[in-house]
Amino acid sequence: MTSRSLTAVLAAATLALASCGAPTPSAAPGTLVVAGYGGSYEEAFKESVIPGFEQSCSCRVTYIAGSSTDTVAKLTAQKDAPQIDVALIDDGVQNQAVEAGLLAPLDPGTVTNLAGVIDLARLPGDVGVGFSLNATGLAYNPDYYAEHGLPAPRRLADLADPRLKGKLVMPSITQTYGLGALLIAAKVGGGSEHEIDPGFAGVEKVAANAVTFDTTADVSNYFLQGQAVASIWGNSRVQMLAKKGYPVRFVYPEEGALPLIATVNVVKLAPHPDLAQKFVNALLEPSAQRTMAESNFNGPVVEGVELDPALAEKVVGQDRAAGLRKLDWGVINKNRSAWTDRWNKEIETS
C-alpha cells in the first residue's frame, strides 16, 4: 500500500467514525449532490473524503466538478428547485451567492467542528464556512533569477523590474489572482478595496512587463515553456508545480499576502439538508483537513491539526493565517464590474 493510499484509508476510517454517527434510515435511499472544484480537489474528495462519508451515512455522493462561477450559475438556475445539496466555492463568489439568497445557515448542533475553525475562515452568520486556506502572493523561477543576477522578489513592485520585460504573466482581473494584485497594490499605495485608485497606479507599472494577461488562473504552462519567470499566483498552485520538479517558489510579499478561502456551503432548500450539514462537518474533521493539505497543499482551517513539518512549511499555516486580512467582499463585488472595465481600458490596453 502506498503512503497516499494509506492516508486515504485512514482519512476514510476516521470520517466513518466521526463525521455522521449512526446511519439515518431516511438518508439510505438518497444521493447527496456536491458541486465543487475539479482537478486535484476532485481527486482528493473522491479518494479520501467521499468513500468514508458514504459508508458512515449509508448514502451515495455524486460529485459535479466545475468552477465557482459555474456552480453559482447552476444554483441560480435551480433556485426554486435545487438539485445540488452542497457547494464548494471561492469566498468572493460565495458572498455573491449569499446576497442572492442561495445558501442556508449551518447548524452548529450538526456542524460541531465549527467551534474549532479559525476566525479567518468563519463567515457572517455561519452561512457556509471556509474549509481550506490558501494565499495570493508572488511566484518566480529561482534558477532564472540567479542566472540573470536578479534578486528574489520581495514586493509586488519588484515585478516592475525592467529586466523582466516580456517575462511576466499578469493574471487578468477576471480571476482571483489579478484581483489580488490590484488589492495588494492598493494597500501599498495607502488604499484598500474601499479606495482602489492606488491599486491601478501600482498594477500599471507591473503590467508593463506582462507578456500576456492570463484568464485561466493556471499559469503552469507559461512557466514550463519558459515564457514566464514570474507571476502573481496562489501558494498551493506553486507548490503543486514545484512537486513536479520544476524550479518555482512562492513568496509572501512584504506588503502582505491575501487570503484565498475555499468555502463549503449547504444550498438553501437542498434536497437532503441533514446530509448536507453532516458533509460540511466531515470536511472539518482533522483527517479531512490533513488529506487536503497532503494532496493539494491547502492549509487547515481547524485549530490543532498536526502536519508533517516538511508539509507544514509549504502550506498556509495558522501562523501565516494570523497575518492575512479579511477582505470586504461586499464592497469588492459591488465594484468589480466597474473595476473590470477600468482594468481593460487602463491596464490591458496600455
**C-alpha cell at position 291:** 488529506
Q: What is the pLDDT of residue 216?
A: 84
- pLDDT tens-place string over residues 262-316: 999 999 999 999 999 999 999 999 999 998 899 889 999 999 999 999 999 999 9
Helices marked H in 189-245 — which ranges?
197-207, 220-224, 235-243
Say yes or no to pLDDT of 246 above 90. Answer: yes
- pLDDT tens-place string over residues 28-73: 358 999 999 987 788 888 988 899 999 988 999 999 999 898 999 9
Q: What is the mean pLDDT of residues 159-182?
A: 94
Q: What is the pLDDT of residue 350?
A: 64
Say yes or no to pLDDT of 16 above 90. Answer: no
**CA proximity to 180, closest of 206, 145, 151:** 206
Classified by CATH at the fold level, domain 135-258+329-346 comes out as D-Maltodextrin-Binding Protein; domain 2 (3.40.190)
Domain boundaries, the chain: 3-133+259-321, 135-258+329-346
Tell me the C-alpha to C-alpha distance, in Å, between residue 295 and each of 105, 310, 313, 315.
29, 14, 15, 11
E strands along 37-190, which residues?
60-65, 86-90, 103-104, 129-140, 168-171
Q: What is the pLDDT of residue 155?
A: 97
- pLDDT tens-place string over residues 103-158: 999 999 999 999 999 999 999 999 999 999 999 999 999 999 999 999 999 999 99
Tell me the C-alpha to C-alpha distance, in Å, between residue 67 and each of 23, 71, 76, 108, 165.
31, 6, 14, 28, 32
Say yes or no to pLDDT of 7 above 80. Answer: no
DSSP 268-306: TT-SSHHHHHHHHHHHTSHHHHHHHHHHH-PBP-BTT--
Say yes or no to pLDDT of 2 above 70. Answer: no
- pLDDT tens-place string over residues 184-237: 999 999 999 999 999 999 999 999 999 999 988 889 999 999 999 999 999 999
Q: What is the pLDDT of residue 29?
A: 52
Q: What is the pLDDT of residue 114?
A: 97
Segment (H or E) for 51: helix 50-57
**CA proximity to 138, closest of 237, 40, 204:** 237
For residues 199 and 260, what is the distance between their CA atoms, to the nearest angstrom? 19
Q: What is the mean pLDDT of residues 177-190?
A: 95
Among 68-77, 89-98, 204-213, 317-326, the range scoring the smallest mean pLDDT is 317-326
DSSP-derived secondary structure letter, 196: -
Terminal CA-CA length for the chain = 55
Please provide the average confidence, as pLDDT, over all residues in the chain. Answer: 90
Say yes or no to pLDDT of 11 above 60. Answer: no
Say yes or no to pLDDT of 1 above 60. Answer: no
Domain 135-258+329-346 in the same topology as domain 3-133+259-321:
yes
**CA proximity to 12, closest of 46, 41, 40:** 46
Q: What is the pLDDT of residue 232?
A: 97
Percent of the chain with pLDDT over 90: 78
For residues 49 and 44, what is the distance between their CA atoms, to the nearest angstrom? 7
For residues 49 and 9, what is the distance between their CA atoms, to the nearest angstrom? 10
Q: Is 121 helix (H, G, I), strand (E, B) or coil?
A: helix
Q: What is the pLDDT of residue 209?
A: 97
- For the domain bounded by 3-133+259-321, which CATH number is listed? 3.40.190.10
